[in-house]
Amino acid sequence: MNVALIILACVAWTVFLFFAIAFIARRLSPKLAPYADKGWEVHCRKCGWKHEALSLGIVRIHAYSRGKRILGKCPHCRKFRMLALERTGPRS
Ligand SMILES: [Zn+2]
């Protein structure tokens, strides 16, 4: 079997898995929202925009992160950035 074909199959499988996980997460997040921890905030480190993570559809359940970054589009500066996901409230 050709090496290029194997590499192409691996890339296609990775892209498929990425979109499948994104699809499942988007379907599950409203159902999991009642169990989510409140007090997480998305923060743009360039312009200072902040917003509650749960209202943006980001569900965190018993999560612990230190310095977590997520790829997203900042609605204030309208650019794709690595947005900081920070805990602002107490752990529940
Ligand atoms: Zn921004």
Cα–ligand 1 centroid distance for 51 (angstroms): 11
Share of the chain above pLDDT 90, in %: 55
This prediction's pTM: 0.65
Distance 69 CA to ligand 1 centre (A): 14
Buried b (16+ CB within 10 A) or exposed e, 44-83: beeeeeebebbebebbbeeeeeeeeeeeeebeeeeeebeb
Give the start-to-end residue ranges of the domains of the chain: 1-34, 36-92
Residues 1-54 pLDDT 10s: 799 999 999 999 999 999 999 899 888 888 888 888 888 999 999 999 999 998
